[in-house]
Amino acid sequence: MNIIPAVDILDHRVVQLVGGVPGTEQVTLPDPLTVAADWESKGAKRLHIIDLDSALGKGHNAQVIRRIIENARVPVQVGGGIRSTEVAEYYLDCGADRVIAGTKGLRDPAWLREMSLKYPKRMVLALDMKGGKIQTHGWKEDSPLELKDVFANIAELPLAGVLFTNVDVEGQARGIDAEAVRSFVSECPHLTIVSGGVTDERDVETLERMGVREAVVGLSLYTGKLNHNAIWR
């Protein structure tokens, strides 16, 4: 399985938040460029960069993310507040391997279709779930959409995958909700990239048994609960 380190950027710093709530920082590091390069040097085969400021409508970190992409020697996927063609294409033109869209992709399925056909296997749809409901706008709003309807709408699109974030366990390093993951993976018509709660090698093994091929991990890598030497051999 490919374990992908999360580099979440808020106010120009790398942070790890509990449930995506500002003010709940469990980790704060000053230099996103250094953090990204450090994960790559430790063996990461892909980087996951999220612009939390943009997701929360508080500005953006486009310049530093561009530098991360340009300096990286591994594929980089970028998300957070990507709600226009201009922003998506900015990162793709910078060299991002994948662009992750959540709110925009859900609210404007015609746009998601257009972008995925123009950039096949480079667009990822983010589906953030909390209490069984899809979240939008940086996990601040419940969407009225039903998961089964979203899956039906995207089944034929040439997406790179679907990023499933379980907000209920995100940033807590207490383990995955295995049943929630199993249910999502069994219904999702695309590669599922799992995020939220991955804490140790047992979680990784559980995901592997479910057939999950990619997982984004944040807090547990930063605190050492999940040993990078064990997963990036």
What is the domain extent for residue 45?
Answer: 2-231
Please, are residues 101 and 79 in contact by the beta-carbon 8 Å criterion? yes
Q: Distance between CA atoms of 27 and 37, rounded to whole angstroms? A: 17
Please, are residues 169 and 175 in contact by the beta-carbon 8 Å criterion? yes
Q: Residue 126 belongs to a domain with what CATH number? A: 3.20.20.70
Residue 22: pLDDT over 80: no
Identify the active-site residue in 51, 97, 128, 203: 128
Binning the chain into helix, strand and coil, the percentages to the nearest 5 are 35, 25, 40
Residue 88: pLDDT over 80: yes
Mean pLDDT over 218-227 rounds to 94
The H helix count followed by the E strand count for the chain is 11, 12
**CB-CB neighbours of 11 under 10 Å:** 12
**pTM of this prediction?**
0.94
Mean pLDDT over 20-39 rounds to 91
Burial class (CB in 10 A: 0-12, 13-18, 19+), 137: middle
pLDDT tens digits, 159-205: 999 999 998 777 666 799 999 999 999 999 999 999 999 999 999 99
pLDDT tens digits, 101-154: 999 999 999 999 999 999 999 999 999 998 888 988 766 778 889 999 999 999
pLDDT range class, residue 18, cuts 50, 70, 90: confident
**Active site includes 8?**
yes
**Active site includes 108?**
no
**CB-CB neighbours of 140 under 10 Å:** 13
Mean pLDDT over 204-213 rounds to 96
In eight-state DSSP terms, residue 2 is E
pLDDT tens digits, 42-54: 999 999 999 999 9
Identify the active-site residue in 8, 53, 97, 203: 8
Number of domains observed in the structure of the chain? 1
